[in-house]
Amino acid sequence: MKIFPDCLYTFFLWIFTATLVSGCFYKVPVPVQESPPSFPENWSNSHLREPVSGIWLPVQYRNLLMQLIDEGIRNNQQLKAQAARVDMAVQNALIAGADAVPQLSAFLRGGRQRSQSTRDSFDVGLDLGWELDLLGKLDDREQAALFEASMSVENWREIRLSLVAEIAGQWFTLLENYQQLALIQQREQNLSQNLQIIEEGYTMGISPSLDLHLARADFSAILARVVAREQEMRTQIRRMEYLLGRYPETELVAAGTLPREMVDIPAGIPANILTRRPDILAAGHTLAAANLRVAEAYKNRFPSLRLTGSYGSSTDSLNRLISSDSVVWSLFAGLTTPLLDGGRLAAMQEKNMAGARVAAALYTDTVLLAFVEVENSLEAEQRLKQQQHLLERASEDSASAEELAFEQYQNGLVNFVTVLESERRAFDAKSTVLAIYNERMQNRIRLFLALGGDFPPTDSEPPFPHLP
């Protein structure tokens, strides 16, 4: 007993023959490969051979920073937006995967026609549609969507890592500004005392008018610096509150002192640790998806086989709709192949190929930029440490010179201009030392970001920050 008539067998034979013939010309394009430089065994900066004891951030700062970072991860709106994009990409992958499975739908129709007579018709049943993925183009589409979803996840991780780094960097900058403001206010008190002494001396005819005007000018200038520093702090506090997802009310308090010393960077950090960087992983997923899009575009130029069928009941009487006598079914196989499309499919393939070349170049560029960022931060680590020791020595000498100049002025050995110059140098030296403390912290944070996370953990303490 034949299930299908001979004509249907013949039709399927033609489809099979056409598929074989098209397969003779079938050759998927070779995927575009990335060509980044090989990862070196060691970084070019030799200071990594130094020993390390502990982690780079003191515990008291780590605990407070972790609270701020956790708050930012929970509330930052940019991070929430990227999380929603991840959900969109996952759903796109599910949609792409649905194209490869049979589609089944139910129908119920009723109608009336009138020509010479009136005729009612009622239909109920199931419709089936299924495109057979003979060449694997639907699988390519689904795999490309999955890679794009993975890319979206890595973009979310990159935004989160950047948010951690920015919150930490902003907080240390606030600490510097807090100490800078305290230093300026101390300078204000010193200049106020100097001005009082000069005014008393001027009244007594001891101090010349030049000293009086110089003292007043310096005092007014330092008051202006106090106002400017306070405004800068408020602006930075608002920025921090924005990162934390708070309303910018300038209520955040960041009082404390910058750490003067940090432990050395761990020895032996491998260069291939950069493969964990979210932007490098995202670039790799982008290239993989682009190559799959090329394969899909190429396969779209070949025949597609689609099965359609229906099963149901059709009658002119509603009460006979579920009768076995009115059951009808159909099964069709269709082979379609593009013949004339104005070059659209070929152009789409070339467009996707160009996109794959773009993705490959950007992958290589991302890896190279990662090398640059790490090497710059490692070299800056050494230079900033040397600068800090020199600036601290200069600050100590400037403080001694300030004290000596004022004593000599009181004894009539030097003029007031010398006192002002020595005080200005001492103040600038102290301010520069605070700035170098913060710069070392900012560079360590940049290194943290360039490495794609914290250093390998030590035996004594956990790494900072811990990202789930």
Q: Looking at the predicted structure, is the pLDDT value of residue 389 above 80?
A: yes
pTM: 0.80
| C-alpha–C-alpha distance, residues 153 and 82, integer Å | 8
Structure token digits, residue 310: 């229906």
pLDDT tens figures, 104-155:
888 777 777 776 677 767 777 788 888 888 888 889 999 999 999 999 999 9
Write out the H or E segment, with its range, that includes residue 228: helix 209-243
Q: What is the pLDDT of residue 369?
A: 92
Using pLDDT thresholds of 50, 70 and 90, give the confidence band for residue 51.
Answer: very low
What is the average pLDDT across 345-352?
Answer: 91
CB–CB of 346/301 below 8 Å?
yes
Angle of the 344-410 helix axis to the 416-450 helix axis, nearest 10? 150
- C-alpha 394/C-alpha 436 separation (Å) is 13
Distances (CA, A) of 291 to 82, 145, 344, 353: 24, 12, 19, 7
Q: What angle do CA 342, 343, 344 make, to 5 degrees?
A: 95
Nearest alpha carbon to residue 244 among 65, 93, 35, 88: 65
Is the preceding peptide bond at 465 cis, omega within 30 degrees of 0?
yes
Q: Residue 270: left if φ>0, alpha if ψ -120 to 50, beta else—which one?
A: beta
pLDDT recorded at residue 95: 92
Mean pLDDT along residues 151-160: 94
What gap in Å lies between CA 206 and CA 369, rounded to an integer? 65
Locate the domains of the chain by residue range: 6-102+135-307+345-450
For 240-299, write each residue's pLDDT tens digit. Answer: 999 999 999 988 887 778 888 776 776 666 777 888 899 999 999 999 999 999 999 999
Is the pLDDT at 13 greater than 60? The verdict is no
Cβ atoms < 10 Å from Cβ of 292:
24
CA atoms of 7 and 57, how far apart (whole Å): 79
Residue 81: band (very low, low, confident or very high) from pLDDT cuts 50, 70, 90:
very high
What distance, in Å, lies between the first and last C-alpha atoms of the chain? 64
- pLDDT surpassing 50 at residue 464: no
Vertex 399, ends 393 and 401: CA angle to 5°? 105
Does residue 394 contact residue 427 with C-beta atoms inside 8 Å?
no
Beta bridge partners of residue 313, listed in sequence order: 124, 327
Which helix (H) or strand (E) segment holds residue 328: the answer is strand 327-336
- CATH number for the region 6-102+135-307+345-450 comes to 1.20.1600.10
What are the CA-CA distances from residue 379 to residues 3, 50, 64, 365, 446 (Å)? 78, 14, 29, 21, 12
**Alpha carbons 199 and 204: distance in angstroms, whole number:** 9
CA distance 240 to 234: 10
Residue 263 phi, psi (nearest 5): -70, 160
The confidence score (pLDDT) of residue 327 equals 74
pLDDT score recorded for residue 61: 67
Q: What phi-psi label fits residue 79: left (phi over 0), alpha (psi between -120 and 50 degrees) or beta?
A: alpha
Q: Which spans in 261-321 are helix H?
A: 278-299
- pLDDT tens-digit map of 163-216: 999 999 999 999 999 999 999 999 999 889 888 988 888 888 887 888 889 889
The confidence band for 416, taking pLDDT boundaries of 50, 70 and 90, is confident
Residue 262 and residue 210 in contact, taking contact as beta carbons nearer than 8 Å: no
Strand order in the sheet with 103-114: 103-114, 118-132, 304-315, 327-336
Nearest to 309 by CA among 1, 4, 60, 13: 4
